[in-house]
Amino acid sequence: MFVAVDIVIHLLWLIGGLALLYFGAEWLVKGASEIALRLGISPLVVGLTVVAFGTSMPELFVCLKANSPQVIAVPAGWVGWEIAVGEASPDMALGNVVGSNIFNIALILGVAALIRPIVVHSQLIKRELPILLVASAVFVGMMSDMALERWEGMILVMGILFYIAANLRLSKRARYTQERYEEFEKAAIECSRQGRARLWIDVGLVIFGIGALVLGSDWLVVHGESLALYFGVPEVIISLTLFALGTSLPELATTVVASFKKQGDIITGNAIGSCIFNLLFVLGATAGIRPLKAGALSWLDLSVMMGLAVLIIPLMGSSMKLSRVEGVILTTAAIVYATVVIMGQR
């Protein structure tokens, strides 16, 4: 009886952690974007930096909490929050990113195509997908010894800096960014009409957003580990499925809304861009702080992630769109993978 109550309590904390990660990312992106626009920063730069980093924050905070808990706990103590340091769990960090990338491609793009076939822009085929393929291959190569050393993490971070710089230079000619540019241009005009009170609201959104991400990552990792212990499930299984899906909620929500609005460029750019940032930025920063040593992460997980990065190129490039049939294929792949991982109980 008491065990059942404990499980329910851990589940409630887990759900609360997922909710904080979702809203924390939303608040951080909104507040930081509006502050940047007020400072006269180009809407294009805001979209390529603030928004891109913001949607990767849930994965980053969960990875840091799992692999370097003191990085989350110590700063939180400075403002009076008592967060237990706990033990490092590199498998949870690696599983979170690998699982998130699998779900970003298979589930998010699959669900979007099921709602409405997605027209794919040629720029995505020529640039973003090859970059994702190279980033995935480099990461899998680095994981040949099932470890990601600090120097390897720094190489990944340099990769994301190069990616951002290249985007800033090339995006002026990229038509697929026009819709997002116009979206932020309207926001910039609206920000200029609002007074100082709104500025303080934006600052508050940034502060509360970061706070929500810190607490959400702590709740998710701590209570996820407790549930794994109760059910005898390896921590990597929890991170590959529940954590990965939970930290992909901002991307999934954006995708569903964009599907109904027929905004295919936002859908594909959001999903593929998030995968690139997860590999280069999230894992790079996490390993740069403390090396990642895989224990239970398997070559099956890495192979599925790499295989989807390869598969999505012909699916998108064959007819320059993702059809509902292809959406079924991708969604089925996500369900089958999750089932195999859960039933395998590695």
- 3-class DSSP state of 1: coil
13 φ, ψ to 5°? -65, -40
Query: What residues pair up with 118 in beta bridges, in sequence order?
Result: 322
Distance CA 279, CA 136 (A): 7
Mean pLDDT of 32-52: 63
Q: Is the pLDDT of residue 44 over 60?
A: no
Which is higher by pLDDT, 179 or 342? 342
Q: Which residue has the tokens 């891109």?
A: 52
End-to-end CA distance of the chain: 28
Ramachandran region of residue 194, left (φ > 0), alpha (ψ -120 to 50) or beta? beta
Mean pLDDT of 71-84: 57
Q: Which residue has the tokens 């709740």?
A: 219
- 3-class DSSP state of 88: coil
Q: Per-residue confidence at 116, pLDDT binned at 50, 70, 90?
A: confident
Question: How many angstroms separate the Cα of 281 from the Cα of each of 97, 164, 288?
Answer: 11, 11, 10
- 3-class DSSP state of 148: strand
Mean pLDDT of 108-128: 83
Report which of 172, 168, 213, 189 is spatially closest to residue 29, judged by C-alpha positions: 213
Distance CA 276, CA 135 (A): 7
User: CA 278: distance to chain centroid?
Assistant: 6
Q: pLDDT digit string (tens) for 304-330?
A: 999 999 999 999 887 778 889 999 999
Distance CA 168, CA 244 (A): 29
Distance CA 223, CA 100 (A): 19
Per CATH, domain 2-344 is 1.20.1420.30: yes
Is there a contact between 46 and 188 (Cβ–Cβ < 8 Å)?
Answer: no
- 3-class DSSP state of 321: strand
Distance CA 291, CA 302 (A): 18
How big is the chain, counted in residues? 346
Q: Is the pLDDT of residue 76 over 60?
A: no
Is there a contact between 142 and 343 (Cβ–Cβ < 8 Å)?
Answer: no
Q: 73-77 contacts: CB < 8 A, separation 24 or more?
A: 73/218, 75/214, 76/214, 76/218
What is the CB-side half-sphere exposure of residue 27 using CA atoms within 13 A?
19
Q: pLDDT digit string (tens) for 150-201?
A: 999 999 999 999 988 877 676 555 444 455 555 555 655 565 566 566 778 8
DSSP-derived secondary structure letter, 125: I
What is the CB-side half-sphere exposure of residue 215 using CA atoms within 13 A?
18
The pTM is what? 0.78
